[in-house]
């Protein structure tokens, strides 16, 4: 009976050691999985930031082109119609002067 008890105790110790090794292996695999997922998420975030930067840069370039084109159009309009431009500027100046006088 002592031999049987020692045999069972030995098997229990071996099973417990195997269980510890399995848990350690599982913990190692989980750590690697979490690390891989973190790296993947970081890569996706980096790609999203790069895409957003490209879109913002593109939009800013388009806006700059539009503003420059509008400026050139205004300049050419002034060159074609100088008297009208002067009268418009005069009217805007008078309007701003009257508004300023009403405030003060």
CA-CA distance, 69 to 61, in Å (whole number)? 12
pLDDT value at residue 104: 66
Residue 85 · residue 78 · CB < 8 Å: yes
Show Cβ contacts of residue 85 under 8 Å, excluding neighbours closer than 6 positions: 77, 78
pLDDT value at residue 2: 63
CA-CA distance, 28 to 40, in Å (whole number)? 18
pLDDT value at residue 68: 95
DSSP-assigned letter for residue 15:
H
The H or E element that residue 102 is part of is helix 82-103
Domain boundaries, the chain: 2-103
pLDDT value at residue 6: 80
Q: What is the pLDDT along the chain (104 residues), one digit of tens a residue?
A: 566 778 888 888 888 999 999 999 999 999 999 999 999 999 999 999 999 999 999 999 999 999 999 999 989 998 999 999 899 999 999 999 999 888 86
Residue 85 · residue 77 · CB < 8 Å: yes
């Amino acid at each position: 009976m002592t031999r049987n008890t020692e045999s069972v105790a030995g098997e229990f110790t071996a099973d417990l050691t195997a269980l510890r090794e399995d848990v350690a292996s599982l913990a190692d695999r989980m750590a690697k999985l979490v690390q891989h997922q973190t790296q993947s998420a970081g890569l996706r975030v980096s790609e999203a930031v790069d895409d957003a930067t490209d879109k913002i840069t593109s939009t800013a370039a388009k806006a700059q082109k539009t503003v420059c084109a509008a400026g050139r159009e205004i300049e050419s309009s002034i060159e074609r119609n100088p008297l009208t431009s002067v009268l418009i500027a005069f009217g805007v100046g008078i309007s701003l002067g009257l508004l300023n006088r009403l405030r003060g």
